[in-house]
Amino acid sequence: MCDTLVALPSATASGATILAKNSDREPDEAQAISIVPRRICHEQYCTATFISLPQVAETYACILSRPFQMWGAEMGVNEWGVAIGNEAVFTRVRILRNNTGLTGMDLLRLALERSKTAWEALLNIIQLLETYGQDACGGYRNKRFYYHNSFLIADAQNAYVLETVDRHWAYRRVDACYAISNRLSIGTDADALSSGAAAFARAKGWWSGAQPLHFSHAFSDWLYTGLGRGKARQACTYNWLIANQGKLTAAHFFDVLATHHLPHPQFKPAKATTADICMHATGLLNPNSTTGSMVAHISSASPPVVWLTGTPHPCMSVFVPFVFGAEIPADWLTPTAQPDHSLWWQAKRLQDWVAKDYPKRHAWLEETRADLQHHIWQQYQQTPADQLAQLTYETLLAVRQWLAKCLSQSTCQIYAQAQ
């Protein structure tokens, strides 16, 4: 489960594009942040998660947030200011589960590495989708988790929503704002459809042909789509965008990504549902947690700034501004399968403790978390663009120190309660 939303320049306070995403995955699947340099490629093939495909002559620099064990990425931005987030969507088309295709995360990274504009990224994903398909497991421990994908693709001027069913697809251009979730949302308003989509739906008996093809009605699997409550989450984020058009900043997106279905202090992680934007796993019907978050600020006047948590649950996290050229110790942002000293696992340790008495402990944590986030935002606004790489390092260091202090204080509280 995930949620991605975008506001184009006409809808933001700064006149920049802002694209944001919560990545919802299995709760112990750590998420890494990778700053991948531009590269001249001499190898003949590129190796994705399950398959290899012909490599291009040059790949562009990217800032990626990705499951630690995967080649592909959940979300990211490239040096040209192209930003993409993807979603799992559940359709009526059976997946063979042979791992002979590309994951949605593979498609996302490949498009970022090979595209200078959102339009070019859209065309790259379509070409790769039609060539290789999506028969690729997207799960971590759940090896039966296969799905199709939707994408929100943006640059400094334009954005597109692309929704897919096997090798079929539909896309539409975004006017000012858009949000996607774990459901097909394009109806009869597609700007274009894959050449075989209508005939395929007609042959399956999913469309009569009497009216224009409604992409979502024809292809959605209503059971899994309904259980995921993507319609409710999409309505939440889209209505928020519309209500705040013209005044949106990256900081506003930090807040919406931390939204639950109940306000604080009524919300409790043990009672979380799939209607939450900031997800907390509770079991079989709600198996995913938010494991990473991104807010990308993309302007034609300056290099992109990619705000990432690198930690689970934005309701207990701090967004850090990443830029190209930042140099970060690798072990800070590269977690492994087991708890380690990475930012992700240290945050999870603290957040697991907070969740045991969420209303009380979250209030305690929020006092310092909100102050730190405000301080980072103020520093960002005052820092010249050519000094932002140093700010990335300083901000990450401050977040690590804050986590260490909070963990120390939480340990002291546990000890005091035991006496």
The catalytic residue positions are 2
- Mean of the per-residue pLDDT values for the chain? 96
Mean pLDDT calculated for residue range 210-227: 94
Distance CA 84, CA 149 (A): 12
Distance CA 353, CA 323 (A): 32
> To which H or E segment does residue 62 belong?
strand 62-67
Q: Provide the pLDDT confidence category of residue 417 given band limits of 50, 70 and 90.
A: low
Dihedral (CA of 23, 28, 34, 39) sign: negative
Mean pLDDT calculated for residue range 16-43: 98
> Do the beta carbons of residue 304 and residue 112 sit within 8 Å?
no
Provide the pLDDT for residue 419. 36
Mean pLDDT calculated for residue range 212-220: 97
Provide the pLDDT for residue 23. 98
Dihedral (CA of 345, 250, 315, 273) sign: negative
- CA distance to 56, 100, 216, 267, 330, per residue, from 91 (Å): 32, 19, 9, 32, 39
- CA distance to 242, 256, 314, 327, 398, per residue, from 5 (Å): 11, 10, 15, 29, 28
Mean pLDDT calculated for residue range 334-358: 97
Helices 104-114, 118-132: inter-axial angle, 10-degree rounding: 130
HSE, CB side, 13 Å, CA atoms: give it for residue 313: 24
Mean pLDDT calculated for residue range 347-374: 96
> Do the beta carbons of residue 327 and residue 304 sit within 8 Å?
no
Distance CA 258, CA 254 (A): 7
Task: Specify the pairing of strand 17-25 against strand 168-173.
Answer: unpaired
Mean pLDDT calculated for residue range 186-211: 97
Give the pLDDT confidence of 144-161 residue by residue, as tens digits. Answer: 999 999 999 999 999 999
| CA angle, 191 then 197 then 203, to 5° | 145
pTM (2 d.p.): 0.96
Distance CA 64, CA 56 (A): 19
Distance CA 314, CA 413 (A): 23
Mean pLDDT calculated for residue range 346-370: 96
Give the percent of the chain with pLDDT over 70.
98
Amino acid making up residue 111: A
Amino acid making up residue 208: S
Provide the pLDDT for residue 265. 84
Mean pLDDT calculated for residue range 4-30: 98
> How many Å is the Cα radius of gyration of the chain?
21
Q: Provide the pLDDT confidence category of residue 1 given band limits of 50, 70 and 90.
A: confident
Domains (range + CATH), the chain: 2-331 (3.60.60.10)
Distance CA 13, CA 381 (A): 14
Give the pLDDT confidence of 96-127 residue by residue, as tens digits. Answer: 999 999 999 999 999 999 999 999 999 999 99
Cα 289 to chain centroid distance, Å, stands at: 12
Residue 161: both structure tokens together: 């929503």
Contacts of 290 (CB under 8 A, 6+ apart): 22, 23, 24, 257, 278, 279, 280, 312, 313, 314
Give the pLDDT confidence of 223-271 residue by residue, as tens digits. Answer: 889 988 999 999 999 999 999 999 999 999 999 999 999 988 899 999 9
CB atoms within 10 A of CB 266: 10
Give the pLDDT confidence of 268-312 residue by residue, as tens digits. Answer: 999 999 999 999 999 988 999 999 999 999 999 999 999 999 999
String of DSSP letters for 212-271: ---HHHHHB-HHHHHHHTHHHHHHHHHHHHHHTTTSB-HHHHHHHHT--SS-TTT--GGG
